[in-house]
Amino acid sequence: LTKDRYPVRRGEFAILNKEHLQFFTDLLGTQRVVTDPAECESYNIDWIRSVRGYSTCILKPKTTEEVSKILSFCNDHRIAVCPQGGNTGLVGGSVPVFDEVVLNTALMNQIYDINDTSGVLICQAGCVLENLDTALAERGLMMPLDLGAKGSCHLGGNVSTNAGGLRLLRYGNLHGSVLGLEAVKADGQIVDLLSTLKKDNTGFHLKHLFIGSEGALGIVTKIAIQCPAKPKAVNLAFLGLNSFENILKVLTQAKRDLGEVLASCEMIDESTLEVCTDNLKLKSPISNFPFYMLIETHGSNNEHDQEKLNGFLEDVMGNGLVLDGTVTNEPSKMKNIWDLRERITEGFIQDGYVFKYDVSLPIENFYSLVPEMRQRLANDEEVVRISGYGHLGDGNVHFQVSCRQFSQNILNKIEPFVYEFTSKLRGSISAEHGIGFRKPKYVHYSKSAESIVIMKQLKEMFDPNGILNPYKVIPN
Ligand code: FAD
Ligand code: 2HG
Ligand code: ZN
């Protein structure tokens, strides 16, 4: 357990023994305490198969009270705990590093209330995002967030990572839409912050500490979230362009011409689209271009929206900014187009090993990492592709370098260069995926020394024994 798989040492935590396991099975029953090594495997490996732990015990509580009793016991006995939702996280935060007990929220999947008038949904943390969206659709509502991992990720995982996704441009991030939450601290104390109010300035806004804290301060158990009306009209355009300069012009014009109906503005470069067309054999509705944009509108009147969208498209195609494009409001065609964007992560895995960077940059510099890195790695034959895509409307690029297999040589050429580059432009080295296990030592590129001290003080206050997600989020 202490062997040097990663450049970290196992903390002074207890090794799980029979008495510990007895406590867990007395509390949850044998069915909800997984110890079979084959069954434990999938909880130990992340979605992109980039990190693995060696946990021999997966706990599946159903209630807040059970979470509280587990944490109180673990805290008293110095047992390290890895909180886990759908295990779709991309920074190694959701799987143990060594033998931490995994506390998985899959069975905490109750929807308590959907209020048709206020649009507030209250549910447990383990509800799968897509299931919530389906339940809301029957009531004319939808989740304010959408991401490619929707079929697996849990709302508690989304809240804990402050997930962004494909419609943040229109509906904002979770600091805005989460109205309240309930969390359990490391010592088992239940913190009730489950407000459903839109306005509540009664002192410090404590819920925000749990939104995006990646399981380091507590386990989120319940959430109240503001859900918008499901749009009556949805239209999607897929456009081909020949330069990033033109992408910026089209973005500016989309914001002006589409105004309040603009819901998504994503971009994909040619090399990224190929992971879908070549690796996954998906079909693109238009021929090949150096860049593509997906622009989705959400509105309440299809005639009005189409008029706006068509006017905008006539303009950007007429003046040569967009070379080709297709527009649809047919659900199956929209799904085919969104697959080209949402399945990129899956497609990249087939290249081999992927060095992933999730960066916020000033919009003019959104794509600048790609040409810069192509130059730096021009003579490296190990590289399969260097590409960029992502949430253009939010200034969040997903920059990727894929190789047939992991290469220390390539890694040394990318890091810390990519972080220095981002920091110089006052960007963020993690726009939406978080810090997890992969990035604590790089936090200083985006956070001042004083902020890091406060992060450490908060960790000490919420989790003095450091049992929650050790080795992650907080820099040494
Ligand atoms: P997990 O992966 O299980 O956990 C993530 C982190 O949160 C871990 O540190 C874990 O310890 C902690 N955690 C989980 N549940 C809790 C809880 N209840 N209480 C406290 N801590 C908890 N992310 C985006 O932001 N935008 C995207 O567009 C996006 N698209 C994706 C597409 C694909 C195909 C994939 C695989 C991932 C994508 N992600 C995206 C990353 C990931 O899906 C999100 O971070 C998601 O929010 C994680 O949810 P999860 O339930 O899988 O959490
Ligand atoms: C997306 O926007 C996700 O598709 C995943 O955030 C990005 O795989 C990635 O790096
Ligand atoms: Zn993303």
For the stretch 157-213, pLDDT in tens is: 999 999 999 999 999 999 999 999 999 999 999 999 999 999 999 999 999 999 999
Architecture of the 233-344 domain: 2-Layer Sandwich (3.30)
| Residue among 48, 146, 147 to mutate when testing ligand 2 (max atoms within 8 A of CB) | 147
Q: 377 C-alpha to center of ligand 1: Å?
A: 31
Say whether pLDDT at 29 is over 50.
yes
Confidence of residue 6 (pLDDT cuts 50, 70, 90): confident
Say whether pLDDT at 4 is over 70.
no
Mean pLDDT throughout 283-304? 98
Q: Assign a CATH topology to domain 111-226.
A: 3.30.465
Q: 91 C-alpha to center of ligand 3: Å?
A: 12
Atom of ligand 1 nearest to the CA of 183: 19
Confidence of residue 5 (pLDDT cuts 50, 70, 90): low
Q: 165 C-alpha to center of ligand 3: Å?
A: 5
Query: How does pLDDT run across 390-424, given as a tens digit for each residue?
Result: 999 999 999 999 999 999 999 999 999 999 999 99
**CATH class assigned to 18-106:** alpha beta
Which of 328, 300, 304, 327 shows the shortest CA–CA distance to 316? 327
Atom of ligand 1 nearest to the CA of 343: 34
Q: Closest residue (by CA) to atom 35 of ligand 1?
A: 149
CA distances from 55 to 38, 39, 96, 232, 415 (A): 11, 11, 7, 47, 30
| Residue among 173, 370, 392, 398 to mutate when testing ligand 2 (max atoms within 8 A of CB) | 398
Query: How does pLDDT run across 99-138, given as a tens digit for each residue?
Result: 999 999 999 999 999 999 999 999 999 999 999 999 999 9
Do 126 and 182 meet the contact criterion of CB atoms below 8 Å apart? no
Q: Given the cut 0.95, state whether the ipTM is greater than it.
A: yes
Say whether pLDDT at 3 is over 60.
no
Which of 361, 421, 415 shows the shortest CA–CA distance to 392? 361
153 lines ligand 2 (CB under 6 A): no
Q: Closest residue (by CA) to atom 4 of ligand 2?
A: 342
Say whether pLDDT at 86 is over 90.
yes
106 lines ligand 2 (CB under 6 A): no
Q: 262 C-alpha to center of ligand 2: Å?
A: 21
- Find the DSSP H helices in 9-137: 18-28, 37-44, 64-76, 129-137
* Antiparallel, parallel or unpaired: β 101-104 and 58-59: parallel
Residue 434 has a pLDDT of 98
Q: Closest residue (by CA) to atom 28 of ligand 1?
A: 165
Q: 358 C-alpha to center of ligand 3: Å?
A: 7
Token pair in block for residue 105: 């929220």
436 lines ligand 2 (CB under 6 A): no
Q: 398 C-alpha to center of ligand 3: Å?
A: 7
Same fold, 18-106 and 233-344: no
148 lines ligand 2 (CB under 6 A): yes
Token pair in block for residue 383: 């590289």
Do 232 and 280 meet the contact criterion of CB atoms below 8 Å apart? no
**Count of CB atoms situated within 10 Å of the CB of 457:** 10
Do 240 and 286 meet the contact criterion of CB atoms below 8 Å apart? yes
Q: Closest residue (by CA) to atom 46 of ligand 1?
A: 158
Q: 398 C-alpha to center of ligand 2: Å?
A: 6
Query: How does pLDDT run across 326-375, given as a tens digit for each residue?
Result: 999 999 999 999 999 999 999 999 999 999 999 999 999 999 999 999 99
Atom of ligand 2 nearest to the CA of 433: 6
Q: Is 224 helix (H, G, I), strand (E, B) or coil?
A: strand
Q: 390 C-alpha to center of ligand 1: Å?
A: 17
CA 258, 175, 139 angle in degrees (round to 5)? 65
Cα(221)–Cα(434) distance, integer angstroms: 20
Ligand number, closest to the Cα atom of 433: 1
356 lines ligand 2 (CB under 6 A): yes
429 lines ligand 2 (CB under 6 A): no
- Ligand 1 site residues (CB inside 6 A) read 47, 82-90, 93-94, 105, 125, 147-149, 153-154, 156-158, 160-161, 163-166, 214-215, 219-220, 345, 432-433, 436, 469
Average pLDDT, the chain: 97
Confidence of residue 2 (pLDDT cuts 50, 70, 90): very low
Q: 95 C-alpha to center of ligand 1: Å?
A: 11
Q: For the chain, which residues make up each domain, given as ranges? A: 18-106, 111-226, 233-344, 351-433
Architecture of the 351-433 domain: 2-Layer Sandwich (3.30)
The residues, any chain, with a CB within 8 Å of residue 365's CB and separated by 6 or more, are 425, 427
Do 241 and 250 meet the contact criterion of CB atoms below 8 Å apart? yes
Q: 390 C-alpha to center of ligand 2: Å?
A: 7
344 lines ligand 2 (CB under 6 A): yes
Better-predicted residue by pLDDT, 460 or 3: 460
Atom of ligand 1 nearest to the CA of 215: 21
